[in-house]
Amino acid sequence: MSQFFFILFASISVLANSIFHVSSAIVSTTKTTASNSTAVGCFADFFPASRAMTGASTTSASNTPSTCVSYCTSLGFPYSGTEYANECYCSMTALTTTSTACTMACAGDSKAICGGANAISVMYTNIPRLPATNSTKRGLCWPWNNPASSFAFFSPSAIPWLYNWELWDPRANGVYSTAEFVPMCRTQAEASQVPAYFKNCYAKRLLGFNEPDLPAANGGDYISPYNASLLWKNYIQPVKKSCGTLLGAPAVTNGIGSGWGTDWLHQFFSNCTSPACSFDFIPLHWYGTSLADFETYIAHFHSLFPTYPLWVTEWQFTGVSSTVTANLEKQALQWLDAQSYIARYSMFGPMNSANMAGIVNAAMIKDDLSGLTDIGKIYAGLL
């Protein structure tokens, strides 16, 4: 595993235990309850031969129709079904085989019915779909060791920019050539190389440090906010003066606590003030399991830094199946395109599962490199 992907895997592992949750009063366009839902009826299940609802499932001692609706809609499924008192199932499509065996009380509410033995009490919830407004926001976060042949699976007219966590352009002459390459000064080790790369002003935009808040103990390339400000003033800010390059602030993780995420960024901005430092946009990262948390985190980030356009340069849903990922991806893309303050985004990742740092559910490219997965087709605008 390359150094970068080791760092990414460590970052995700840490964030899995520290995803930032803010009040749902801030924003949540996907949160629904049973009061917004319609009871469809009782339908047959076919366990152990097969399941009637295969999108996602969970069991809970507090299971009710309402909690099941919340679980399924948070994953992008409009149909939710309770079964055998404590089971909850989700589906994108309606069931067809009816049953009369939905007679069992819910584990979480003895006055409500939650299916029965091989019988599912089904609810339908209309999940609003936001219109896409700007598909040109979409980019590729391209790992340095991705085969050049994989560029053929994407179109620069649909995905018109890319970066690779490095200062150097990964493309050979003529390959994906009409797309804009955005270089990155990933760590403090690369900072002194920035002036040489920009001697001829070869890029219109430059991304700052990658997850400088991630400690070395967690596999990161940590930089203190103060030291990062010195490096910025000495090596990165001069590019703005000499080339007019638009500068993206350091991209922090969505970890919480002192020195993490937005706290690190606030400290950095306090040490790197105008006119010695300037920023044209702020990149950020997010990894988690819930669409509502994704939207809420980014909206809260915007509220903290309202004057800057945002680039969501790494984001992905973890710990869920590929089917769930596809459903969440569709809604997330629509939501990102609809937010005027989000200038660009790049979903992790345009690669096969071996290169996904453990997030195999979200690989865009098939393992044999022969084409796109459904995740990749959705991102490429083909599904």
Q: What is the CATH number of the domain that holds 326?
A: 3.20.20.80
The backbone torsions φ and ψ at residue 301, rounded to the nearest 5 degrees and listed phi first, read: -55, -45
User: Is residue 29 one of the residues assigned to a domain?
Assistant: no
State the pLDDT at residue 29: 36
pTM above threshold 0.85: no
User: Is residue 51 one of the residues assigned to a domain?
Assistant: yes
Whether residue 316 contacts residue 347, with contact meaning beta carbons closer than 8 Å, is answered with: yes
Q: What SS3 state is found at 156?
A: coil
The total number of structural domains that make up the chain? 2
Q: Is 272 in the same domain as 305?
A: yes
What strands lie across the sheet with 79-83, from one edge to the other?
A: 37-44, 119-125, 79-83, 87-91, 56-59
State the pLDDT at residue 51: 96
- Which range marks the domain in which residue 361 is found? 139-380
Q: Is 200 in the same domain as 335?
A: yes
Whether residue 155 contacts residue 382, with contact meaning beta carbons closer than 8 Å, is answered with: no
Q: Is 88 in the same domain as 160?
A: no
Q: Is 201 in the same domain as 107?
A: no
β-partners of residue 121 are 42, 82
Residue 116: DSSP 8-state: B
From first to last of its 383 residues, the chain has per-residue pLDDT tens of 334 554 454 555 445 444 433 333 333 333 444 558 999 999 999 999 999 999 889 999 999 999 999 999 888 889 999 999 999 999 989 999 999 999 999 999 999 999 999 999 999 998 776 555 556 899 999 998 899 999 999 999 999 999 999 999 999 989 999 999 999 999 999 999 999 999 999 999 999 999 999 999 998 999 999 999 999 999 999 999 999 999 999 999 999 999 999 999 999 999 999 999 999 999 999 999 999 999 999 999 999 999 999 999 999 999 999 999 999 999 999 999 999 999 999 999 999 999 999 999 999 999 999 999 999 999 998 88
* Final residue of a structural domain among 124, 148, 165: 124
The torsion of the CA quartet 205, 314, 160, 306, rounded to 10 degrees, works out to: -60
Q: Is 50 in the same domain as 189?
A: no
Helix H, strand E, coil C: the string for 284-328 is EEEEECCHHHHHHHHHHHHHHCCCCCEEEEEEEECCCCHHHHHHH
Element (H, E) at 68: helix 65-74
State the pLDDT at residue 131: 57
Q: Is 242 in the same domain as 167?
A: yes
Q: Is 152 in the same domain as 301?
A: yes
